[in-house]
Chain A
Amino acid sequence: MIPPLVMQLLDSLAALLLLLSFAMLAQRRIVTLVDLFALQGAVLCAATLLLAWRTGEVNLYLSAALTLSVKVIALPRLLHAMIRRLGVYWDTDPLLNISGTMLVGVPIVVFAFGLAQPISALASTATRSAIGIAIAVILLAFLTMITRRKAMSQVIGFLSMENGLFFGAMCASYGMPMIVELGVALDVLVAMLVLGVFFFQIREQFDSLDLDRLESRREAP
Chain B
Amino acid sequence: MTLALWLLLGSPVVGAATFAMLGARPRAAELNVAFSLVTFAAAAALSVRVATRGAMSAGGEQFFVDPLNVFLVTLTAFVALTTSLFSRPYMRIETADRRMTPGRLRLYHCMYQLFIATMLLALTTNNLGLMWVAMEAATLSTVLLVALYRTPASLAAGWKYFVLCGVGIAQALFGTVLLYIAAERALGASGASALLWTHLDAVKSQLEPRVLSIAFVFLLVGYGTKVGLVPLHNWLADAHAEGPTPISAVLSGLLLNVAIYAVMRCKVLAEGALHSAWPSAMLMGFGLLTVVVASFSLWRQQDIKRLFAYSSIEHMGVISFAFGMGGPVANFAGLLHMTVHSLTKSAIFFAAGHAAQKSGSQLMDRIRGLVTISPSVGWGLMIGALAILGVPPFGVFASEFLILTTAMRTEPWATPILLISFAVAFAAILQRVQPMVFGETRLRRLPHSPALLPVFTHLLIVLMLGLFIPPFLADWYRAAAQLLGGG
Report B11 CB to chain A, min CB distance, Å: 21
A177 in complex: contacting residue of B173, B185, B191, CB < 8 Å: B191
Contacts of B208 in A (CB 8 A): 118, 122
A125 to B10, CA, bound (A): 39
Identity of the chain B residue whose Cβ is nearest the Cβ of A131 in the assembled complex: B181
A187 to B192, CA, bound (A): 19
B214 at the interface (CB under 8 A from A): yes
Contact B156 A198 (CB under 8 A): no
Contacts of B144 in A (CB 8 A): 194, 197-198
Contacts of A145 in B (CB 8 A): 163, 167
Q: Which of A20-28, A46-54, A164-172 contacts B (4 or more CB under 8 A)?
A: A164-172
B201 at the interface (CB under 8 A from A): no
A45 at the interface (CB under 8 A from B): no
Identity of the chain A residue whose Cβ is nearest the Cβ of B196 in the assembled complex: A177
A191 to B136, CA, bound (A): 9
Report B113 CB to chain A, min CB distance, Å: 16
Identity of the chain B residue whose Cβ is nearest the Cβ of A177 in the assembled complex: B192
Report A204 CB to chain B, min CB distance, Å: 7
User: Given that A201-B155, A214-B156 are contacting pairs, would A123 and B181 also be in contact in the complex, using a CB cutoff of 8 Å?
Assistant: yes
Interface of chain B residues 118 through 171 with chain A (CB within 8 A): 127, 129-130, 132-133, 136-137, 140, 143-144, 147, 150-153, 155-156, 158-159, 162-163, 166-167, 170
Contacts of A78 in B (CB 8 A): none
Contacts of A165 in B (CB 8 A): 170, 173-174, 177
User: Given that A119-B211, A122-B185, A165-B177 are contacting pairs, would A218 and B136 also be in contact in the complex, using a CB cutoff of 8 Å?
Assistant: no
A14 to B132, CA, bound (A): 26
User: Given that A119-B211, A119-B214, A122-B211 are contacting pairs, would A179 and B155 also be in contact in the complex, using a CB cutoff of 8 Å?
Assistant: no
Report A136 CB to chain B, min CB distance, Å: 13
Classify chain A: how many residues form its interface, as a range: 35 or more
A183 at the interface (CB under 8 A from B): yes
A9 to B132, CA, bound (A): 33
B448 at the interface (CB under 8 A from A): no
B182 at the interface (CB under 8 A from A): yes
User: Given that A118-B211, A187-B133 are contacting pairs, would A217 and B156 also be in contact in the complex, using a CB cutoff of 8 Å?
Assistant: yes
- Give the interface centre of A59, A158, A187 by most chain B CB atoms within 10 Å: A187
Contact B174 A154 (CB under 8 A): no
B177 in complex: contacting residue of A168, A197, A205, CB < 8 Å: A168
User: Given that A145-B167, A177-B194 are contacting pairs, would A198 and B159 also be in contact in the complex, using a CB cutoff of 8 Å?
Assistant: yes
B112 at the interface (CB under 8 A from A): no
Contact B155 A202 (CB under 8 A): yes
Convert A179-214 into 0s and 1s, putting 1 for each residue whose CB lies closer than 8 angstroms to a CB of B: 110011011001100110110011011100001001
A122 in complex: contacting residue of B130, B166, B182, CB < 8 Å: B182
Report B95 CB to chain A, min CB distance, Å: 20
Identity of the chain A residue whose Cβ is nearest the Cβ of B170 in the assembled complex: A161
Contact A180 B152 (CB under 8 A): no
Report B219 CB to chain A, min CB distance, Å: 14
User: Given that A158-B170, A197-B144, A198-B159 are contacting pairs, would A122 and B127 also be in contact in the complex, using a CB cutoff of 8 Å?
Assistant: no
Contact B181 A172 (CB under 8 A): yes
A123 to B140, CA, bound (A): 33
Contact A177 B129 (CB under 8 A): yes
Contacts of B195 in A (CB 8 A): 176-177, 180
A118 to B214, CA, bound (A): 9
Report A166 CB to chain B, min CB distance, Å: 9
User: Given that A198-B144, A198-B162 are contacting pairs, would A122 and B129 also be in contact in the complex, using a CB cutoff of 8 Å?
Assistant: no
Contacts of A173 in B (CB 8 A): 177, 180-181, 184
A218 in complex: contacting residue of B143, B153, B167, CB < 8 Å: B153
Contact B155 A158 (CB under 8 A): no
Contact A178 B147 (CB under 8 A): no
- Give the interface centre of A169, A176, A198 by most chain B CB atoms within 10 Å: A176
Contacts of B176 in A (CB 8 A): 176, 180
Contacts of A201 in B (CB 8 A): 147, 150, 155
Identity of the chain A residue whose Cβ is nearest the Cβ of B208 in the assembled complex: A122
A158 to B164, CA, bound (A): 11
A62 at the interface (CB under 8 A from B): no
B25 at the interface (CB under 8 A from A): no
Report B114 CB to chain A, min CB distance, Å: 10
Contact B159 A202 (CB under 8 A): yes
Contact A176 B177 (CB under 8 A): yes
Report B370 CB to chain A, min CB distance, Å: 23
Report B109 CB to chain A, min CB distance, Å: 17
Report A148 CB to chain B, min CB distance, Å: 11
A12 at the interface (CB under 8 A from B): no
Contacts of B147 in A (CB 8 A): 198, 201
B445 at the interface (CB under 8 A from A): no
Contact A158 B167 (CB under 8 A): yes
Contacts of A115 in B (CB 8 A): 214
Contacts beyond the supplied A172-B181, A211-B159: 20 A-B pairs with Cβ under 8 Å: A118-B211, A122-B182, A124-B185, A138-B170, A161-B170, A172-B177, A173-B177, A173-B180, A177-B127, A179-B192, A180-B132, A180-B176, A184-B129, A184-B173, A190-B137, A191-B140, A197-B144, A198-B162, A201-B150, A205-B152
Using a CB–CB cutoff of 8 Å, the interface residues on chain B facing chain A are 62, 127, 129-130, 132-133, 136-137, 140, 143-144, 147, 150-153, 155-156, 158-159, 162-163, 166-167, 170, 173-174, 176-178, 180-182, 184-185, 191-192, 194-195, 208, 210-211, 214
25 A-B pairs in the complex with CB atoms less than 8 angstroms apart: A118-B210, A119-B178, A119-B181, A119-B214, A124-B185, A145-B167, A151-B159, A158-B167, A165-B170, A168-B174, A172-B177, A177-B191, A177-B192, A178-B192, A179-B62, A179-B129, A180-B130, A184-B133, A202-B159, A205-B150, A205-B151, A205-B152, A205-B155, A206-B155, A218-B156
